[in-house]
Chains A and B, each alone.
Chain A
Amino acid sequence: MSTKQRGIGTNTYERILMGPGAVYTGADQASLLGATMGGNVMEITRTFRDIRPDGAQGPVKGFRSIEEVDAVLTVRLLEVTEQALVYALAGSSLSSNVITGGEIANSTYLAAVSIIAEMTGATTEGRGSIAIELSNVLVEGPMTINLPENGETAIELKFRAHYDVAALTTEPWKISFTHVA
């Protein structure tokens, strides 16, 4: 067999992630957030403590442990709704089409935010997917609306997951496959 395979196998076509994905809020992907532009980015950063006993010349097996977990979904939202802006300004509230600021309460946290990314070719005319869900989510960072001289604008939202105080060892994210070949 040739050595020019570059990792491609007979089932590669079924295992390719495609497109920007769709973002949902709520448990079980209850509500579609809206159209995005410029793609979405999911980052789960797991920082490991690196204990170096005397004599170690590099990382040592058994001496690593999780120090911090940070899961962030960055979305560039093209479709602007009142509800999305309430999410963007954590703690704010909406009344009679007017959004005003407020403190962050437990009810401010979104129970879940998910991105569903399409996985190709699982079945004829079917689409597999990967769902990445964050738990106890707040949007952090400034809400910036750039209004260009011409053309449309996208608002960037950074959804950050949070541990549940009642489950401090359960990382606030999960990844679910469907249609895996």
Chain B
Amino acid sequence: MADVQVSLLTYLYNLLTTNTALKTAMGGAVRCYPVSAPPDSAFPYLVHRIDAGPPGGIWPERNSTYQLDVWSQDPAAHDITAIRNRLVLILDELVFNTTDVKNVRPELQTDGFITENDVRQPGSAMNIWHYALQFNLPYYRQTETVAILAR
């Protein structure tokens, strides 16, 4: 039995890093990090995390948020918008199960460029861009539920 967060992030990591079209959009390899990226990570890369929300209709269901950040370095933000496009096509309205989590349904809610307060200003000489996508991520925590029922 894996933790819900581990199960979800592992599935999403594998989904994103093996997608051929996304690999192409990201220059041949999909770098995806949980929560935050290591210092000096090579561009472009993804950072993802899940914020678990309140229960849904019944207690095993949770309404959570999947936060996916794209960082890219290119002169005109063409690369990052191409990456954004691939991510939406992969994730939005997907339905998937893992061993531990069932009925997972990412739904795109908001997305847009983020203005950074440090040197990473969009359009600056560094040409570093940050794009954030937020998905609703309802799911049913199956193995936790079975364990709770059996305790």
Interface residue? A6 (CB, 8 A): yes
Contacting pair A9 B149 (CB below 8 A): yes
Contacting pair B151 A2 (CB below 8 A): yes
Query: Which secondary structure characterizes the binding site on chain B?
Result: mixed
Query: Which secondary structure characterizes the binding site on chain A?
Result: loop
The docked-state distance in angstroms from the alpha carbon of A14 to that of B97 is: 11
Whole-angstrom distance between the Cβ of A174 and the nearest chain B Cβ: 26
Contacting pair A13 B95 (CB below 8 A): no
Contacting pair B149 A125 (CB below 8 A): no
Contacting pair A8 B60 (CB below 8 A): yes
Contacts A120-B102, A121-B97 given; indicate if A13 touches B60 (C-beta within 8 A).
Answer: yes
Contacts A5-B149, A6-B58, A13-B140 given; indicate if A125 touches B96 (C-beta within 8 A).
Answer: yes
A-B contact pairs, 23 of them (CB 8 A): A2-B148, A2-B151, A5-B149, A6-B58, A8-B58, A8-B149, A10-B145, A10-B146, A10-B149, A12-B58, A12-B60, A12-B140, A13-B102, A13-B103, A13-B140, A13-B142, A120-B95, A120-B102, A121-B102, A121-B140, A123-B97, A124-B97, A125-B95
* A-chain residues with CB within 8 Å of residue B125 when the two chains form the complex: none
Seen from chain A, the residues whose Cβ lies within 8 Å of a Cβ on chain B are 1-2, 5-6, 8-10, 12-14, 16, 18, 120-121, 123-125, 127
* B-chain residues with CB within 8 Å of residue A8 when the two chains form the complex: 58-60, 145, 149
Seen from chain B, the residues whose Cβ lies within 8 Å of a Cβ on chain A are 58-60, 95-97, 102-103, 140, 142, 145-146, 148-151
Contacting pair B95 A127 (CB below 8 A): yes
A120 to chain B: closest residue by CB? B103
B143 to chain A: closest residue by CB? A10
* B-chain residues with CB within 8 Å of residue A5 when the two chains form the complex: 149
Contacting pair A16 B103 (CB below 8 A): yes
Besides the known contacts A13-B102, A121-B97, 8 further A-B residue pairs in the complex with CB atoms under 8 A apart? A8-B59, A9-B149, A12-B140, A13-B103, A120-B140, A121-B103, A124-B96, A125-B95
* A-chain residues with CB within 8 Å of residue B145 when the two chains form the complex: 8, 10, 12-13
* A-chain residues with CB within 8 Å of residue B150 when the two chains form the complex: 1
